[in-house]
Amino acid sequence: MYNSLIYKKLSNTNNLSKKELLKKLFTNIIQILTKFIDHKDNLLLSNNKINSKIMIIGDMPSHNDHINKYIFSDESGELLNKMLRAISINKEDVYLTNIIPFYNKESKSIYSIYKSFLKKTIINHISIINPQIILLLGSIPLEILFGNEFSISNNRGQWLNLKINDKNIFTLCTFHPNFLIQQPNQKKNAWFDLQLFEKKIKDLNIK
């Protein structure tokens, strides 16, 4: 059912702006996941930097994000900001989003039950934003986009080729800041990943 709702090709979308396309996308998300979303205002879509060529995808908003009505607003957001600043990127200059765009106590069950839907949704989302490079934070976005055969332990720090609409998008996965807060000994590995990300941004001449 949800496939027909969200992937029924919308007519006359060529003239729609990114904001209008995102509005349509997330309206469909509400329709499909209505039992999980209490109110449309609970959707935490992104930081609205829709013209950035750098897209960062996490797993799901935290409870603090839900309260603050802004993603990456908690301790993990502070660490992400430090991580990006270390490679001369301002968190406010990249497009931030999550695979699951709202906070819910049952988010883990949504992840396991609606993997196919979430994959199609994030592919549509990426297509709208049209980034040149993507950083995935943690195992959930990695597994949803590339499949269960991929894991953070085996594929962290590797360039993965994500093809959407005949366009190849450089995609790198690293640890989620929440994990690094719990396992600070892994920060050295995350730093290696970030340096790869920085080099690719320079190679692509992304401003």
Whether 10 shows a pLDDT value over 80: the answer reads no
Note the pLDDT tens digit of each residue in 34-58: 777 766 677 788 999 999 999 999 9
Return the SS3 of 97: strand
Is position 29 within any domain? Answer: no
Is position 149 within any domain? Answer: yes
Note the pLDDT tens digit of each residue in 103-161: 877 666 777 788 888 999 999 999 999 999 999 999 999 999 999 899 999 999 999 99
Tell which wins on pLDDT, 82 or 12: 82
Is position 39 within any domain? Answer: no
pTM: 0.90
Is position 121 within any domain? Answer: yes
Concatenate the DSSP letters of all residues of 91-131 into one string. Answer: GGGSEEEESS-B--TTHHHHHHHSHHHHHHHHHHHHHHH--
Question: In angstroms, rounded to a whole number, what is the distance separating the alpha carbons of residues 148 and 52?
Answer: 29
Counting the structural domains of the chain, the total is: 1
- The boundaries of the domain holding residue 75 are 44-203
Is position 119 within any domain? Answer: yes
Using DSSP bridges, classify how beta strands 133-137 and 95-98 pair: parallel, antiparallel or unpaired.
Answer: unpaired
**What are residue 15's DSSP bridge partners?**
none
Q: What is the CATH number of the domain that holds 164?
A: 3.40.470.10
Q: At what angle do helices 115-129 and 18-32 cross, to 10 degrees?
A: 170
CA-to-CA dists, residue 167 to 79, 163, 170, angstroms: 31, 5, 10
Q: What are phi and psi of 94, to 5 degrees?
A: -120, 160
